[in-house]
Structure 1
């Protein structure tokens, strides 16, 4: 199975990295609507204008958080797919996706809802982060369908839209089996 090297990340000053970390804390604690430049400054014990030396606005902070989200999710998914083979790749991928998204719900929502700030992300990061879906599915259309399934399941789970007596572990397993059954044989997928 071929893997793609993780793209270089944006170089940040120690203070900029501290700002991103504080923004992430606020995001997970209170949601993106409560992350303001003033709240960030208060969290860091600095004056709000000092933040603008590192980030031009809140959208730039959001882009930095999306970069973190894609890099972390990508690493988790590459690890899951790299540690599995054949029919085990899809269940491993879905389990890692679910686990990571549910552990970081604010970051997950920020990175997967609304417009993706592609122009602010390191070149190749989005493709690298999504590559495990192609590696697991062996077909680009099946990979997109697999991601759509995983994303929909996570959002519904985060929003607590399933009935209280739902066995979501079994639901995820059923989806994994259904997708794994559709994965083409390695020779049909070009040796993927």
Structure 2
């Protein structure tokens, strides 16, 4: 196969994302990706040294996309409504793109967060939570919300809610967290 002069990292990532969406990270390998692009697998290594680098780039793209979705849903709304809209957008996006979402759940060793798309996504949620609680850098409540949203999305994705479904549990959980954040605000300013 000839080496196309227009092979770029973005073109590779777009094709990789198509394969990811169709079959998950397990289906994403360099040979099928190269075949989809009409190139030799070796030409991909000019842009990504290995599969792990490609998966990291896809995870970064998923984090960036997720952040835009949350920002778009929450933009211009008062704090509680913004956070509620972001929570709904979070679940909707996780349902719509389960394999992209799965990349955000990749196991990793504990480490200090580095600047980049993952940290930007965290900061989006942190800023929404802090606006409601009025506690600067409200990490505790951000972790609580994120843990609930991640857990709910994973349970939803796995089918563990069963035939009876979640029966309003998302609304109950999000409202309980938002109520607590609002209660924290006066205590923080006292």
TM-score (norm: length of structure 1):
0.81
Count of residue correspondences: 175
Deviations along 1:54-91, one digit per CA (max 9) or x if unpaired, are: 11000010011011011001111122232321322332
Query: Structure 2, unaligned stretches of length 5 or more?
Result: 1-5, 131-137
Q: Secondary structure of 2:160's match?
A: coil
Paired residue for 1:133? 125
The answer for unaligned runs of 5 or more in structure 1 is 1-12
Larger relative contact order (Cα-Cα within 8 Å, sequence gap ≥ 6): 1
Matches within 5 A, 1:1-192: 15-115=8-108, 123-138=115-130, 139-167=138-166, 170-184=168-182
In 1, the alpha carbon distance for the partners of 2:101 and 2:76 equals 23
- Runs of 4+ with deviation above 6 angstroms: none
Cα separation, partners in 2 of 1:53 and 1:108, compared to 1, 3 Å: same
The structure whose Rg is larger is 2
Sort the Cα spacing of 1:181 and 1:54 in 2 relative to 1 into closer, same or farther, 3 A.
same
Mapped contact 1:27–1:35 kept (Cα < 8 A): yes
- Matches of 1:93 and 1:188 in 2, distance apart? 25
